[in-house]
């Protein structure tokens, strides 16, 4: 497996959703391929210091979507499917990214006008 799971408690995104997003991102970038084995629910929960049910919920949702295959006694594997981000999923991820950015900025006490100015400068390539 070629990804390292990380959870961000300041993002406002539920941990199970962060796990799902990281697995899907790993598949779309090629870091995870069909047949790759994921950590066991228990191992990932211990590694991330979360409740077993959090990881189980993420794995179950991806299994229902056909992204993962669980084999009793063998483990959980990436299924042989192609993940394509639809426009709705793309929009959801954009909103999530902006929400995370704004939450972090607010936690640092950065004013919205300063944020907007910096974003505009970066997009223009100034700096």
Q: What residues does 53 pair with on adjacent strands? A: none
Mean per-residue pLDDT for 33-62? 96
The pTM of this model reads 0.67
Mean pLDDT for the chain? 87
What strands lie across the sheet with 68-71, from one edge to the other? Answer: 37-38, 75-78, 68-71
Fold category of 15-78 in CATH:
Arc Repressor Mutant, subunit A (1.10.10)
Paired tokens of 62: 């991806």
Q: Which pLDDT does position 56 carry in this prediction?
A: 96
Question: pLDDT tens, 67-95?
Answer: 999 988 889 999 987 666 666 677 777 88
pLDDT at 2 over 90: no
Backbone phi, psi, residue 47, to 5°: -60, -40
- Give the whole-angstrom CA distance, residue 18 versus residue 35: 22
- Give the whole-angstrom CA distance, residue 75 versus residue 125: 46
Is the model more confident about 95 or about 55? 55
Is the model more confident about 5 or about 119? 5
Q: Is 96 helix (H, G, I), strand (E, B) or coil?
A: helix
Domain boundaries, the chain: 15-78, 87-124
């Amino acid at each position: 497996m070629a990804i390292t799971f990380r959870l961000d408690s300041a993002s406002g995104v539920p941990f199970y959703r962060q796990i799902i997003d990281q697995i899907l991102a790993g598949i779309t970038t090629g870091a995870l391929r069909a047949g790759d084995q994921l950590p066991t629910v228990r191992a990932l929960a211990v590694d991330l210091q979360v409740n077993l049910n959090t990881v189980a919920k993420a794995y179950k949702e991806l299994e229902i979507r056909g992204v993962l295959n669980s084999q009793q006694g063998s483990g959980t594997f990436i299924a042989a499917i192609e993940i394509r981000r639809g426009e709705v999923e793309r929009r959801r991820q954009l909103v999530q990214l902006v929400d995370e950015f704004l939450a972090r900025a607010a936690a640092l006490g950065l004013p919205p006008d300063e944020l907007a100015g910096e974003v505009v400068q970066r997009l223009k390539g100034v700096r």
